Amino acid sequence: MNIILIILAVILSVIVLLLVIALFVKNEYSIEREVLINQPKAKVFEYIRSLRNQDSFSKWANIDPNMKKDYTGTDGTAGFVSSWDSDNKNVGKGSQEIIKITNGERVDFSIHFIKPFEGLAKAFMTTESKRENQTLVKWGFASGMKYPMNLMLLFMNLKKMLGNDLQTGLNNLKAILEKE
Peptide bond into 40 cis (omega under 30): no
Q: How far apart are the first and last CA of the chain?
A: 74
Of the segments 61-70, 134-143, 151-160, which one has the largest average pLDDT value? 134-143
Provide DSSP, 6-62. HHHHHHHHHHHHHHHHHHTS--EEEEEEEEEESS-HHHHHHHHT-GGGHHHH-TGGG
Asked whether the beta carbons of 93 and 105 are under 8 A apart, the reply is: no
**How many CB atoms within 10 Å of residue 175?**
12
Domain residue limits, the chain: 28-179
- d(C-alpha 177, C-alpha 47), whole Å: 8
Residues above pLDDT 70, as percent of the chain = 97
**Average pLDDT along the chain:** 90
Q: For residue 119, give the 3-state DSSP assignment.
A: strand
Closest CA to 94 of 126, 64, 137, 124: 64
Q: What does the pLDDT look like over 85-97, one tens digit per residue?
A: 999 888 899 999 9
Q: What does the pLDDT look like over 3-52, one tens digit per residue?
A: 888 888 888 888 888 878 777 777 788 899 999 999 999 999 999 999 99
How high is the pLDDT of residue 168?
Answer: 95
How high is the pLDDT of residue 161?
Answer: 79
Q: What does the pLDDT look like over 105-147, one tens digit per residue?
A: 999 999 999 998 888 999 999 999 998 899 999 999 998 777 7
* CATH top class, domain 28-179: alpha beta
Distances (CA, A) of 138 to 25, 55, 58, 111: 27, 18, 14, 17
